[in-house]
Structure 1
């Protein structure tokens, strides 16, 4: 259709006033112009909405939706996917940014292959000021004889684009989880059909400054949710036996559970501090290498 929106850029915001202008500006600078920016604000308490509404007033392609109560990232993203109108959904976090050619290059990839339901690109790993530190070395093409679920190793990352309607039909985001939701949509998209890798950085990923104890706590809960999300994918695909065990062991969440017994102590905020004080660097390297 002539007037159909091609890309719905999906952004879920909560208190990102310090960064969101850079994210929106990167969308406005896209060389490919057939897009909408769909923003769901999750009851921000900073001045995010003032900034967003100013952008909304100058470009009709920017659409803003407000949650009636704070719902978390998963529910906000699922809502955003449903409310959007574009053929393809494209994830952009409000503290990150796109390269000017990101949408054009993704459009070219999908135009070349009608069987594609998803595509992901290489990305820039940036500091807190969005200055490039390196190209993220783990993002790679999943081998043709494997799947992302089996291969893992953080091969799929930003910039991730997917067939929005087919994703909705396949269940949308699993809103039971608050962390590792990117793994949920990576797994589901490759269950729908063909996924392509764009070997070019199209995304600026910002490493936001956080406290050490907060960082390791988030990593723990993210790893825990990732394990459950992977188990759901394993069950959907009917994987059993040694193959199932191999996939689960790669996630290494059990290392947290057996070595630090966090399942019993995770509700105690002080329980996670010992991880940094004792063997923080060793554990992180074991889990994420």
Structure 2
């Protein structure tokens, strides 16, 4: 299986060398890295090109103008030639066995359409701070699963051929394009949790998900969840009517509050345990 590493770049070249080094160090040999620059400054593009120039596995493309993350991540999938794809932000990094561990799942489980694992939060110098504690195996084939609270997170990898059967990433999304992808892939088969830390997530002032856009992510995420409800043909959830027209994210998240109850979580955990034996 060939693996395509997808990198959406926008003015983060100062951190890219560590990302590059982590990819070159991968234990799985059959990979390519597709970089799509979304209208960065010329000096930023030059830094990236200089770092990758000696390695033909890296392919560099540019948008004609700044299009946004939804468009860019969607276009990256079109440019990829691999069987399995996974996003890595240019300011983050992978542990050396990350790709190999994901490929191993896809080779053994033909029903798996997506894998995810653990990540560790790092400071601006990529020094580990704390692990992301939440991830665990989710219940598969549950129409009321919306990854809320978040379980599916970095390092996410998925089958390209299955992705092509979905409605694909909404290119108009400016945030929560990852959640849009996860929910659409979830609807197509099994998702598998890899209980290892495979991703180094850098926190810094210039991070896309850590700047002023973070305040807007709630609204985008709510609309992504509502779209999944419509796609799945749901009309009610926990006895409450799902709106046929999107009005606000607050209305959508209010419908999901029951999933935070202790009784619901216990039932969910039991279902996941039973799922592991099937």
TM-score norm. by structure 1 comes to 0.79
How many angstroms does 1:64 deviate by? Answer: 0.6
2:224 is aligned with 1:232:
no
What is the CA deviation profile of residues 140-195 of structure 1, one whole-angstrom value per residue up to 9, with x for unaligned ones? 21135846834521111000000112212312210121001111011011111111
How many angstroms does 1:139 deviate by? Answer: 1.7
How many angstroms does 1:216 deviate by? Answer: 7.5
SS of corresponding position for 1:106: helix
The equivalent residue for 2:215 is: 220
1:154 to 134, 147, 150: 150
The equivalent residue for 2:48 is: 52
Task: Determine the C-alpha separation between the residues in 2 that align with 1:137 and 1:176.
Answer: 31
Task: Determine the C-alpha separation between the residues in 1 that align with 2:5 and 2:44.
Answer: 18
- When residues 71 and 121 of structure 1 are mapped into structure 2, their CA distance, relative to the original with a 3 A threshold, is same
Structural RMSD (CA): 2.6
- 5+ residue gaps, structure 1, are 259-289
Given that residues 11 and 39 in structure 1 are in contact (C-alpha distance below 8 angstroms), is that contact kept between their aligned partners in structure 2? yes
SS of corresponding position for 1:221: helix
The structure with the largest helix share of the pair is 1
What is the CA deviation profile of residues 52-103 of structure 1, one whole-angstrom value per residue up to 9, with x for unaligned ones? 2223321111011111111111111111100110001111011110000101
Matches within 5 A, 1:111-150: 111-143=107-139, 146=142, 149-150=145-146
Q: Tell me the number of residue pairs that the alignment of Structure 1 and Structure 2 aligns.
A: 248
The equivalent residue for 1:32 is: 28
How many angstroms does 1:243 deviate by? Answer: 3.8
The equivalent residue for 1:18 is: 14
The equivalent residue for 1:202 is: 198
Task: Determine the C-alpha separation between the residues in 1 that align with 2:218 and 2:159.
Answer: 27
The equivalent residue for 2:261 is: none
How many angstroms does 1:247 deviate by? Answer: 9.0
- When residues 226 and 29 of structure 1 are mapped into structure 2, their CA distance, relative to the original with a 3 A threshold, is same
- When residues 37 and 254 of structure 1 are mapped into structure 2, their CA distance, relative to the original with a 3 A threshold, is same
TM-score norm. by structure 2 comes to 0.82
- 5+ residue gaps, structure 2, are 255-278
